[in-house]
């Protein structure tokens, strides 16, 4: 029986290396590629065509949900799961909306991660119960996926030009998204909008 081919993408080299080493101990799993950024994860997936892609939620270049969106259209047979150290309800909803099969905290053990990879490969799903409960209580977000993404990038006070570069958008488009998100949330400025969206678990 052929092993499940796995792509690991995480910008923290120590975590990625440790996971790769631990998964290598599983006879039925084979780590075929590792990546440290969103664009690299996509490039590796195109080259190695993994069965399952294990993506960190927040990576340089493109977040896990954006990578999952691209993989869904380019490599529909590749199943995606996301691991994160700071999953908010908004992230979970965005991930599920683009076909992510599993959403788990980074606190899961390597053995549990191996089980989840097998579950996802077999067509199953998994969502961390705590994250699922938070998502249900947060209610539906009025923000589009792009508005939420741009608002989150604005969360650390980054200037428009930097947000535009990180989101691969023009500065004018970023301003439009921020303006729209701020209006929808009834906030007086983007900083208040970020706070409100975070409090409600939408970003």
Helix, strand, coil percent values for the chain (each to nearest 5): 55, 15, 30
Alpha carbon of residue 27 to chain centroid: 27
Q: Right CATH number for 145-199 from 1.20.140.160, 1.10.10.10, 3.10.20.30, 3.40.47.10?
A: 1.10.10.10
- The partner residues of 80 in beta bridges, in order of sequence, read 53
> What confidence tier does 66 reach under pLDDT thresholds 50, 70, 90?
confident
DSSP states of 120-156: HHTT--EE-HHHHHHHHHH---SS-HHHHHHHHHGGG
pLDDT at residue 15 greater than cutoff 70: yes
* 161-185 per-position pLDDT tens digit: 999 988 888 999 999 999 999 999 9
> What confidence tier does 87 reach under pLDDT thresholds 50, 70, 90?
low
Count of positions (residues) in the chain: 203
pLDDT at residue 152 greater than cutoff 70: yes
pLDDT at residue 95 greater than cutoff 90: no
Q: Are 42 and 66 in contact (CB under 8 A)?
A: no
pLDDT of residue 138: 66
pLDDT of residue 118: 96
Higher local confidence (pLDDT), 13 or 202: 13
pLDDT at residue 82 greater than cutoff 90: yes
pLDDT at residue 155 greater than cutoff 90: no
* 37-52 per-position pLDDT tens digit: 999 999 999 999 999 9
> What confidence tier does 26 reach under pLDDT thresholds 50, 70, 90?
very high
Angstrom distance (rounded) from CA 161 to CA 112: 41
Task: Look at the pTM and tell me if it is higher than 0.85.
Answer: no
Domain ranges of the chain: 4-137, 145-199
Q: Side by side, which strands form the sheet with 52-56?
A: 29-35, 4-9, 52-56, 79-84, 102-105, 126-127
Fold of 4-137: Rossmann fold (3.40.50)
């Amino acid at each position: 029986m052929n092993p499940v081919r796995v792509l690991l993408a995480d910008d923290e080299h120590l975590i990625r290396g440790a996971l790769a080493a631990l998964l290598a101990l599983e006879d039925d799993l084979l780590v075929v590629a590792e990546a440290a950024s969103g664009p690299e994860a996509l490039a590796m997936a195109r080259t190695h065509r993994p069965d399952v892609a294990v993506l960190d939620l927040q990576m340089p270049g493109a977040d896990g949900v954006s990578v999952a969106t691209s993989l869904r259209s380019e490599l529909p047979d590749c199943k995606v799961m996301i691991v994160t150290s700071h999953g908010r309800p908004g992230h979970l909803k965005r991930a599920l909306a683009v076909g992510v099969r599993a959403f788990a905290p980074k606190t899961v053990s390597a053995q549990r991660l191996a089980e989840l990879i097998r579950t996802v490969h077999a067509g199953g799903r998994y969502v961390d119960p705590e994250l699922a409960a938070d998502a249900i209580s947060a209610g539906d977000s009025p923000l589009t996926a792009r508005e939420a993404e741009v608002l989150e990038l604005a969360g650390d006070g980054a200037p428009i030009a930097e947000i535009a570069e990180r989101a691969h958008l023009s500065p004018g488009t970023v301003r439009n998204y921020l303006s729209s998100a701020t209006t929808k949330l009834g906030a007086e400025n983007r900083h208040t909008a970020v706070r409100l969206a975070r409090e409600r678990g939408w970003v």
